[in-house]
Amino acid sequence: MDFTDIIGHERQIKSLKNSINNGTVSHSYLFEGEEGLGKKAVAYVFSKTLLCEKKQDEACNTCTSCIKFDSSNHPDFKIISPTNNTIKREEIDKIIKDIATMPFESNRKIYIIDDCHSLRLDSQNILLKTLEEPPDYITIILITSEKEKIIPTILSRCQSIKFYSLENSKIVDLLVEEHKLEINRAKFIASFSKGSLKKSLELANSSDFFNMRSEIIEIIDSLVKGDKIKALTSVDFFNENKENTEEILDIMVYWFRDLLILKETGNANLLINRDMVERLSNQTFMDLNRINDIIYRIDETKINIKRNVNYNLLIETMLLSI
């Protein structure tokens, strides 16, 4: 894998390449942005390129260093990832101890700490000491989707590389050309995933998600036609899929958002659920204020679920309001 295999993030990659060419590679980076954008992939390729024996802004993929890196066997590269949403203190202690030794084969040692916001405060403070006086031969890459959980003194010592959601068109092209998805389904996935390549690929290969979506659309269709019995019986569906509640509510919000757009503009090209235009058209009898009220109620339900308000009561009230 090299930079050419990465979808999007051209500006970020150009900045990293410039630092290689100009000899200004930082001792510490913070790769920040939403989950699933490809931060780790860029960090991997950047690390591989820095360790490559050719010392250029692209990894050669043929030298001993590149071959060892690709086989996860490079002695000068380490990565730490959380277990059960936590990075243990012992892991950081090992890294600090390892940093004190010179590189084995390269002129640099590289450490990636994925989801670094999972570090406890004591571990962050230990890491800070190294970031304050780093050896010349190290580069530490911190990856996070929750920057606010990292202490300011660490943030101030890292060069920040901000990652943004991918353009929908790039995700659609990938899903259609490489995964052979039908265009409307690919567009739905790209929009629903909010620019996350990881999420898009997961959904593209998930029949369960689309089965769940079909069930939700059937529930919505019954609810908007005034079926109160369906509102009560559908609580069981939510309980059976409780771990997917956020996705379910997102599907519902996007559905009513599309209904609003279709009713207002009549333009199907603006829809996320454009593969369901006929079903949506059958619901345009709804009043605009009612649609807005439903969207508000669903968003309110999402917020209250995070506040640990009674789950069954929230879902039942939401469904009855629809």
Instruction: Report the CATH superfamily, name and number, of domain 3-162.
Output: P-loop containing nucleotide triphosphate hydrolases (3.40.50.300)
Tell me what pLDDT residue 319 has: 94
53, 65 in Cβ contact below 8 A?
yes
In Å, what is the CA distance from 260 to each residue of 39, 135, 270, 322? 35, 58, 11, 15
pLDDT band at 2 (very low <50, low <70, confident <90, very high): confident
pLDDT at 212 over 90: yes
Beta strands in the chain (DSSP E): 28-32, 77-80, 109-113, 138-144, 159-162
pLDDT at 269 over 90: no
Which fold, 206-321? Zinc Finger, Delta Prime; domain 3 (1.20.272)
Question: How far apart are the C-alpha atoms of 64 and 54, rounded to whole Å?
Answer: 10
Q: Is residue 61 packed enough to be buried (19+ CB in 10 Å), middle (13-18) or exposed (0-12)?
A: middle
pLDDT band at 154 (very low <50, low <70, confident <90, very high): very high
Which long-range contacts (C-beta less than 8 Å, at least 24 apart) are formed by 291-299? Answer: 291/256, 291/259, 291/260, 291/263, 292/260, 293/321, 294/256, 294/321, 294/322, 295/253, 295/256, 295/257, 295/260, 297/321, 297/322, 298/249, 298/252, 298/253, 298/256, 299/253
- According to DSSP, residue 3 is labeled G
Averaged pLDDT for residues 132-140: 94
Averaged pLDDT for residues 87-110: 93
Tell me what pLDDT residue 11 has: 95
- According to DSSP, residue 35 is labeled T
User: Sheet holding 77-80: strands in order across?
Assistant: 77-80, 109-113, 138-144, 28-32, 159-162
Q: How many residues does the chain have?
A: 322
Question: How far apart are the C-alpha atoms of 218 and 128, rounded to whole Å?
Answer: 53
256, 298 in Cβ contact below 8 A?
yes
Tell me what pLDDT residue 143 has: 97
In Å, the largest CA–CA distance within the chain is 71
Q: Is residue 311 packed enough to be buried (19+ CB in 10 Å), middle (13-18) or exposed (0-12)?
A: middle
pLDDT at 146 over 90: yes
Sign of CA dihedral 306, 309, 313, 318: negative
> Which amino acid is located at 200 in the chain?
S
Domain borders along the chain are: 3-162, 206-321
Question: How far apart are the C-alpha atoms of 116 and 119, rounded to whole Å?
Answer: 6
Tell me what pLDDT residue 206 has: 85
